[in-house]
Amino acid sequence: MRLDVITIFPEYLAPLDLSLVGKARERGQLDVRVHDLRQWTHDRHHTVDDTPYGGGPGMVMKPEPWGEALDQLLDGARAEGRAEEPTLVVPTPSGAPFTQELAVELSGRPWLVFTPARYEGIDRRVVEEYASRLNVREVSIGDYVLAGGEAPVLVMVEAVARLLPGVLGNAESHRDDSFAPGAMERLLEGPVYTKPPSWRERDVPEVLLSGHHGRVARWRRDQALARTASHRPDLLAGIGSAELDRADREKLCELGWVESDGRFWPPGDRVEE
């Protein structure tokens, strides 16, 4: 897979030399190219921003440097005989949520181009222009305020790269990631433990040392249900009663959840009626 990142802070992407992504690059599984947007400016101050039409606070990224940068990448690839067009990934707080499902979709593409912005974002005409020629995805990694799209690019590249064939070692694996699509669970993972069995007078739960695989599985599932109920009630509310076994339903009742209309409802919701 080829990845290009166009940014005014190329040094911000230095972590892509490290760890899982860095090793995938060394093995030739990933071809990552980081570009300085200011290469595609022509004035002595390498200007990339200007004041917003219509007024208001902050600055807006000028369209011309982005257009020249993207055209050069597209034309260069065509000249090298590359048949595929890239998917353009635009981090923006007003984008669609970046989910595991989208990570899986992007991991199936041969070429991704990321365009992290600063300031108030990029002149709208850039997305419009390239959306007429390319697959463009405007994405947000979550509902909080950042100063620019570079940190989201690091997040998305890691989420995508680990899905590529041969990138994950044996230490990790995709099996029961909390958000893996199609995994029957859309439950959070429960707690994990390793040696020693007692640390600062805190003991590993007895059941995990019992060697009783059935009881271990049930305990883990109960922990996952409790954790999901506490931290992500929205996920639990999306699971139908039919997907839950008898012990699951008993656990949720014990946690104060109420079964109604084929779903479970959090404690305090739906009390009367």
162 tagged catalytic: yes
Kindly determine how many residues on this chain lie close enough to bind ligand JDN according to the rule CB under 6 A.
Answer: 11
Among 134, 146, 204, 208, binds ligand JDN (CB under 6 A): 146
Q: Which is nearer to ligand JDN, 97 or 110 (CB)?
A: 97
- The least CB distance from residue 153 to ligand JDN, in Å, is 8
User: Is residue 137 part of the contact set for ligand JDN (CB under 6 A)?
Assistant: no
Partner residues linked to 50 by β-bridges: 60
11 tagged catalytic: no
Q: HSE of 65 in the Cβ direction (CA atoms, 13 Å)?
A: 23
Among 91, 157, 161, 225, binds ligand JDN (CB under 6 A): 91
120 tagged catalytic: yes
Q: What is the DSSP string of 98-131?
A: --HHHHHHHHTSSEEEE----TT-B-HHHHHHHH
Give the separation between CA 15 and CA 157, rounded to whole angstroms. Answer: 11
Q: Which among 41-49, 123-131, 145-153, 200-208 is the span making contact with ligand JDN, rule CB under 6 A?
A: 145-153
Question: Which listed residue (31, 50, 120, 245) is catalytic?
Answer: 120
Among 12, 32, 102, 118, binds ligand JDN (CB under 6 A): 118
Q: Which is nearer to ligand JDN, 30 or 127 (CB)?
A: 127
- The least CB distance from residue 123 to ligand JDN, in Å, is 12
Question: Which listed residue (93, 105, 158, 263) is catalytic?
Answer: 93
Q: Which is nearer to ligand JDN, 58 or 110 (CB)?
A: 58
**Torsion, Cα of 196, 199, 205, 211 (10° steps):** 10
Q: What is the DSSP string of 177-200?
A: -TT-TT-S----------S-SEET
Give the separation between CA 157 and CA 256, rounded to whole angstroms. Answer: 40
Give the separation between CA 134 and CA 260, rounded to whole angstroms. Answer: 46
Whole-angstrom Cα Rg for the chain: 24
User: Is residue 93 part of the contact set for ligand JDN (CB under 6 A)?
Assistant: yes
Fill in the DSSP letter of residue 137: E
Measured CA distances, 96 to 17, 142, 248 (Å): 28, 9, 32
Among 115, 136, 152, 163, binds ligand JDN (CB under 6 A): 152
Q: What is the DSSP string of 31-92?
A: EEEEEEGGGG--STT---EEPPTT--SS-EE-HHHHHHHHHHHHHHHHHTT--PPPEEEEEE
Among 48, 149, 224, 248, binds ligand JDN (CB under 6 A): 149
Q: Which among 41-49, 117-125, 130-138, 214-222 is the span making contact with ligand JDN, rule CB under 6 A?
A: 117-125
User: Is residue 92 part of the contact set for ligand JDN (CB under 6 A)?
Assistant: yes
Q: Which is nearer to ligand JDN, 157 or 229 (CB)?
A: 157
- The least CB distance from residue 98 to ligand JDN, in Å, is 9
User: Is residue 65 part of the contact set for ligand JDN (CB under 6 A)?
Assistant: no
Active-site annotation, residues: 93, 120, 162, 177
Q: Which residues bind ligand JDN (CB under 6 A)?
A: 91-93, 117-118, 121, 140, 146, 148-149, 152
